[in-house]
Structure 1
Amino acid sequence: MASNVLIFGGSGKCARHVTRLLAGAGYNVHSVIRNPEQKSDIEGLGGKPIVQSIEDSSVDDMAKTIADVKANTVLWCAGAGGGNPERTKAVDNEGAIRSMDATAKAGVKRYIIISAVDVRDREKPEPEWYNDADRDRSKKVWEFIGPYMDAKFAADRSLVTENGRRGLDYTIVRPGGLSQDPAKGTIAAGEVHLDTTISREDVAAVVVECVKKDGTKGLVFDIVGGDTKISDAVADVVEKKIDTFKGRY
């Protein structure tokens, strides 16, 4: 029996790739979008569009949507893009946290969120594998899109620290700089350096791999462009039980 997946933020570039890949693999993909004009796009990718505003939805509203489609996996692929700080907070922080509570309220365990590399409490020690180039890039990114990084951090921290009450089987996928390049099918995963971009299509393939692999439950890992086949890279993360967020929140 095909699995039912619900995507919040279904119109985003990564989410569209996720929709196409999951639908092609036989999953029932329900995609929450804000703009009804995007319905035909989602249907063309094999998804079932649901028009609903994340910003205007309560926890109960989201939980009802999750329950109505009988989802057994929830994906958070939404993002405000980091332009408007207020909207970024409303979507990437508050909306994401409501979706976590809604997933738990709907009785669904599996929850996967797309975050970003270097999302962390910068008052704490930096990752021990960082080099000078990583430090330089980290500084520039936080200066350039600080509100976005803060919003992602608040959401990720809530997911991890409040899971005692939610009881979710979560995975946090943290891609580096995103490109529009076609998929390579290879990445670097786990404890990575920050100066290599990754195509959105490859990020989507990693998310799909996490949907398929139960071993990714409870893991937080970084991904950038690299030379390791995606399935092998994710398998290595699972084997090593990598958590790049631990001790940094």
Structure 2
Amino acid sequence: MLATDGHNVHSIIRNPDQKSEIEGLGGKPIIQSIEEASVSDLASTITNVKATTVIWSAGAGGGSPERTQAVDNEGAIKSMDATAQAGVKRYIIVSAVDVRNRESKPEPEWYNHVDRQRSEKVWSAIGVYMRAKLAADLSLVTENGRRGLEYTMVRPGGLSDDAGKGKVAAGKVHLDAMISREDVASIVVECLKNDGTKGLAIDFVGGDTPIADAVAEVAKGRIDTFAGRY
């Protein structure tokens, strides 16, 4: 989507076998391991390509707990530090709905019985992943005083490979609606266009509101679904 809009898009990938797929989408692949690269290594990459924005959407894919920790937690935090070190301000991270401190913070007041069941099911199944995301998101928000990033946290619900609908629900959403990966990509692009999303954590699931309108409404209302949950 960004390449079609005329942007110069670079993609850090670990597996060289994915190069042709990235190139086919209009991207420029960079072979680099998030796990093995240092903050300085990543900062050099960001500087070398003259990036103006960094988008973090990497993940260990629900593999081993060690890799989940290394990528979803430590890798994400390295990318934040590297972005700041490279002098880039704009940073978007793809997180997930319901990433929160469930032990000592209240549940979102808009949750219903179905949401509680869904939350319990997800945290029981992929708690390692959710805790890794929580640690990364916590660092992004609480340590931004030293980084100075203009960040947005995009927090989608359950992901599908369906074609995008271009319509979502955003903000104080319920957890039982899936969202397509294509629509999440559209959301990221829209958040880049809307400066009102800076400093916000925004939940998204499938819904009936056009993406641009949904993003604009949340930005205007400054609806942050991570605030008070960490």
Q: Match for 2:109: what amino acid?
A: E
Indicate which of 47, 52, 72 corresponds to 2:52.
72
What's the TM-score, normalizing by structure 1? Answer: 0.91
What is the RMSD of the two structures over their aligned residues, measured on CA atoms?
A: 0.6
- What is the CA deviation profile of residues 162-200 of structure 1, one whole-angstrom value per residue up to 9, with x for unaligned ones? 000000000000000001110100000001000000000
Aligned residues between the structures? 229
Task: Give the structure 2 partner of residue 168 of structure 1.
Answer: 149
Task: Give the structure 1 partner of residue 28 of structure 2.
Answer: 48
Task: Give the structure 2 partner of residue 9 of structure 1.
Answer: none
Task: Give the structure 2 partner of residue 81 of structure 1.
Answer: 61
Q: CA deviation at 1:37?
A: 1.7
Unaligned residue ranges in structure 2 (runs of 5+): none
Q: Match for 2:90: what amino acid?
A: R
What's the TM-score, normalizing by structure 2? Answer: 0.99
Task: Give the structure 2 partner of residue 147 of structure 1.
Answer: 128
- How far, CA to CA, are the matches of 1:30 and 1:180 in structure 2? 23
- How far, CA to CA, are the matches of 1:81 and 1:248 in structure 2? 25
Indicate which of 113, 119, 129 corresponds to 2:110.
129
Q: CA deviation at 1:36?
A: 1.2
Q: CA deviation at 1:83?
A: 2.5
- How far, CA to CA, are the matches of 1:37 and 1:225 in structure 2? 32
Deviates more, 1:92-101 or 1:74-83: 74-83
- What is the CA deviation profile of residues 228-247 of structure 1, one whole-angstrom value per residue up to 9, with x for unaligned ones? 00000000011101110001
Identity of aligned residues (%): 74
Task: Give the structure 1 partner of residue 40 of structure 2.
Answer: 60
Q: CA deviation at 1:40?
A: 1.2
Task: Give the structure 2 partner of residue 111 of structure 1.
Answer: 91
Indicate which of 187, 193, 202 corresponds to 2:168.
187
SS at match of 1:31: strand
- How far, CA to CA, are the matches of 1:29 and 1:210 in structure 2? 16
Task: Give the structure 2 partner of residue 230 of structure 1.
Answer: 211
- How far, CA to CA, are the matches of 1:64 and 1:83 in structure 2? 28
